[in-house]
């Protein structure tokens, strides 16, 4: 099975985005994949803000991206774009850090007005970074994610069922083997 790096670009400690990703990590792991969670907010702010490519934490993240077969990228949407925290991380990765990888973009936000942020803000960056395949992403409204005191979440069934289908298709693509690189 595949090694998946699951990246949360949320700056919030009570993040719906991060909890949603960790929920989906469990689903992917149950399907036999090795999932490595990465909350960008846990990286040293000084390394991110000063673009310290040599910082040990940044070097480790670059290694995680290199070793992953696939990447799930989750972000809250702010002002119709992915988070600045995610942008800071992506700027510190090599130009083709996603080369040969299958990528699943996910986003959360307060309004359906932001649903196109995946296709118009995030997808172009992921493609430019060399992703072999950026699968159909998914947007979940904040109001469809309920945070539980124990740290988990519940997802509104209508949103959750569709999201699970997207994640399962991603998993099936990974199980089918590597996506051939374009000639």
Mean pLDDT per 10-residue interval, the chain, length 183 residues: 97 94 97 97 97 97 98 95 97 97 97 92 97 95 94 92 96 79 49
Q: Is residue 87 part of a domain?
A: yes
Q: Which helix (H) or strand (E) holds 134?
A: strand 133-134
Q: Is residue 64 part of a domain?
A: yes
Whether residue 107 contacts residue 75, with contact meaning beta carbons closer than 8 Å, is answered with yes
Residue 175 DSSP label: H
Which CATH number goes with the domain that contains 117?
A: 3.40.50.360
Domain count along the chain: 1
Q: Is residue 26 part of a domain?
A: yes
What's the confidence (pLDDT) of residue 103?
Answer: 98
Q: Is residue 166 part of a domain?
A: yes
Beta partners for 133? 102
Q: How many CA atoms lie within 13 A of 179 on its CB side?
A: 21
Q: Is residue 182 part of a domain?
A: no
Whether residue 113 contacts residue 107, with contact meaning beta carbons closer than 8 Å, is answered with no
User: What's the rounded Cα separation, in Å, for the pair 64 and 29?
Assistant: 17
Range of the domain at 26: 3-175
User: What's the rounded Cα separation, in Å, for the pair 133 and 127?
Assistant: 8
What's the confidence (pLDDT) of residue 176?
Answer: 83
Tokens of 22: 């960790």
What's the confidence (pLDDT) of residue 82?
Answer: 96
pTM: 0.94
Q: Provide the 3-class DSSP secondary structure of residue 8.
A: strand
What's the confidence (pLDDT) of residue 183?
Answer: 44
- Pairing between strand 145-147 and 138-141? unpaired
Q: Is residue 181 part of a domain?
A: no
User: What's the rounded Cα separation, in Å, for the pair 7 and 36?
Assistant: 9
């Amino acid at each position: 099975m595949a090694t998946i790096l699951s990246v949360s670009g949320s700056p919030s400690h009570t993040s719906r985005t991060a909890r949603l990703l960790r929920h989906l990590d469990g689903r992917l792991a149950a399907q036999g994949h090795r999932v490595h969670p990465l909350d960008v907010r846990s990286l040293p702010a000084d390394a991110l803000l000063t673009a310290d490519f040599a910082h040990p934490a940044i070097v480790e993240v670059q290694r995680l991206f290199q070793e992953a077969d696939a990447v799930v990228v989750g972000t809250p949407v702010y002002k119709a774009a992915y988070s600045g925290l995610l942008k800071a991380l992506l700027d510190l990765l090599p130009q083709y850090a996603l080369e040969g990888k299958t990528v699943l973009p996910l986003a959360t936000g307060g309004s359906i007005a932001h649903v196109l942020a995946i296709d118009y803000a995030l997808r172009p960056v992921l493609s430019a970074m060399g992703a072999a395949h950026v699968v159909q992403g998914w947007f979940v409204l904040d109001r469809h994610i309920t945070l539980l005191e124990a740290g988990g979440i519940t997802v509104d069934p209508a949103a959750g069922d569709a999201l699970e289908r997207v994640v399962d298709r991603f998993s099936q693509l990974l199980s089918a083997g590597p996506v051939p690189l374009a000639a």
